[in-house]
Amino acid sequence: MLNPLARLIEALLRLAWPASGRHRQHAAAPPDPAPAPHTPPRRPSPHTAPLRGEDSRLVRPYLVAHEQAERRRARRRTLWLAVHGVDIGPRRIHDVEAVV
C-alpha cells in the first residue's frame, strides 16, 4: 500500500513543481554558427626594426613610482634649500618660472 501511495504523491508533486532545473529538458538550441576561419599570427617582416623599450607603454609600475618619488624629493630639497638661502636646482618650481 505504501508503494502505490508514494508513486501517486510523487506524480502529484511533479505536476505541482517541475524539476529543480538540473535535469530539466531544454528546448532545442539553435545550431552554432560556422566557426571563424583560423588565421595564423602575423610575423613581422624582416625589414621592420625591432621595438625599442621607449616605444612601449608597458612599464613596471614600481619603476615609475620610484622615478616620481625621486623627482618629488628633488623638488622638496630645492625648496628647502631656497628657504635657507641656497640657490640650486631647476629654474622651474611647481611649473612656475623662478626669477633669479
97 beta partners: 92
Place of cell 618619488: 69
29 or 3: which leads in pLDDT: 3
Q: pLDDT (tens digit, 9 = 90+) per residue, 65-94?
A: 899 999 999 889 888 888 888 877 666 666
Strands, E, within 1-100: which ranges? 92-93, 96-97
Q: pLDDT (tens digit, 9 = 90+) per residue, 43-54?
A: 767 777 777 767
Tell me: pLDDT of 31 over 70: no
**pLDDT at res. 75:** 86
